[in-house]
Amino acid sequence: MTPRDKVISALNHESGPIPVDFGSTAVTGIHVMTVEALRDACGLERHPVKVIEPYQMLGLVEEDLIAALGICTAGVPARKNIFGFSSEGWKEWRTPWGQEVLVPDAFRVLEKDDGVYIFPEGDVSVPPSGHMPGTGFFFDTIIRQPELDEANLDPQDNLEEFGPISDEDLTYLKRESALAASTGRAVVAGLPGTAFGDIALVPAPFLKRPKGIRDIAEWYMSTLTRQDYVHRIFERQLEFALANLEKIHAAVGENLDVVFVCGTDFGTQSSTFCSPETYDSLWHPYYKAVNDWIHANTTWKTLKHSCGAVESFMSHFIASGFDIINPVQCSATGMEPTVLKERYGDRLVFWGGGVDTQRTLPFGTPDEVREQTRERCEVFAQNGGFVFNTVHNIQARTPVENLMAMFDTIREFNA
């Protein structure tokens, strides 16, 4: 089977070798420090790793490392990252932890005693939109919400980032999707404008002077207290999304296998941010409209990302038309692998959940990593429907011996 064949088989809930994804999306990636460690462990050429997603400081997984690790996917990232600039014009930068990396030309920062500040679109004439603490390994969003005038809130202010897709973006997607398809791996792409209320995007670190409700806490409260306001945002956003989908499909055709529709998180470690009833009234209509259009007009499968204890939302994600759930945070309350597979495994593909990134992978022993990886493969791989990935991105300082134990166990399981 080709790498793509393995993914397609899993997506169709057919038994077979477990496909592996690392690096195709911003929620299945590897920290730049860890990419370098993996390259060293695999005996690959040593050179500065490219930071392809500066918000989380994710590193580029190059073709030689893809081959060494047995990765079955090829990603098509957005033309611009979360700070609003493109990955081009590479230059060297020394991180606070002392690693020499390559960053895009528009990666412009201010280094101070309390850490590193980064600017939207690389424009240092406006306030920074991200901050990496001096002892940190990635950026946190800086909230820049203006003072709210409750009587004059305008949903249009929260729609500034949405609109008709540009010809430049369409040309980029057409080119990059064709290149990704030529690798023989399954192609995964993020869709612009379909992330309804994604909390990573609400503060708009890519905008120079964001307007509207941009504070994370205020936004969460608004999903309860200002639902009419949120509906008006989502309604207009959906209009743009559906019109853009037609143009995107015309440009890329069936080069895409999986599309990352939305990364809105609905779970905490032990509970959910809202009730299933609120999900059904506030999010479901918009997700279903997007998924219905995709399934009626393309062969693409749709991926929903949600961290946390979202077992009670699984049937609702299915009703909204999602094919895939990620990252499958098995350590959260109610997210036991056997329960998830038994209840939803015939209707959802589990993309992630392969090993815990909060405890086992960073702090366990190689034997503990092997044991958990094997157990998760045994559960999730039954009758297909499983693409191996960790629970969200592999973080900095993850012991490389644990990572190699994980990859070795996948290979042994597939043998």
Question: Where does 1-69 show beta strands of DSSP type E?
Answer: 49-53, 58-59
Pairing label, strands 301-305, 324-326: parallel
Distance CA 7, CA 2 (A): 9
Give residue limits of the domains in the chain.
3-29+70-75+146-414
Q: What is the pLDDT of residues 167-223, one digit of tens each?
A: 999 999 999 999 999 999 999 999 999 999 999 999 999 999 999 999 999 999 999
Element (H, E) at 247: helix 227-252
Q: What is the pLDDT of residues 85-126, one digit of tens each?
A: 999 999 999 999 999 999 999 999 999 999 999 999 999 999
* The CATH number of domain 3-29+70-75+146-414 is 3.20.20.210: yes
Distance CA 62, CA 50 (A): 9
Q: What is the pLDDT of residues 59-95, one digit of tens each?
A: 999 999 999 999 999 999 999 999 999 999 999 999 9
Dihedral angle sign, alpha carbons of residues 257, 262, 263, 268: negative
Question: Where does 147-204 show beta strands of DSSP type E?
Answer: 186-190
> What tokens were used for 228?
């009419």
Distance CA 202, CA 322 (A): 22
Structure confidence at residue 257 as a pLDDT band (50, 70, 90): very high
> What tokens were used for 164?
């008709």
> What tokens were used for 200?
């990573």
101 three-class SS:
strand
CA-to-CA dists, residue 111 to 68, 94, 99, 115, angstroms:
36, 11, 15, 6
Distance CA 105, CA 252 (A): 28
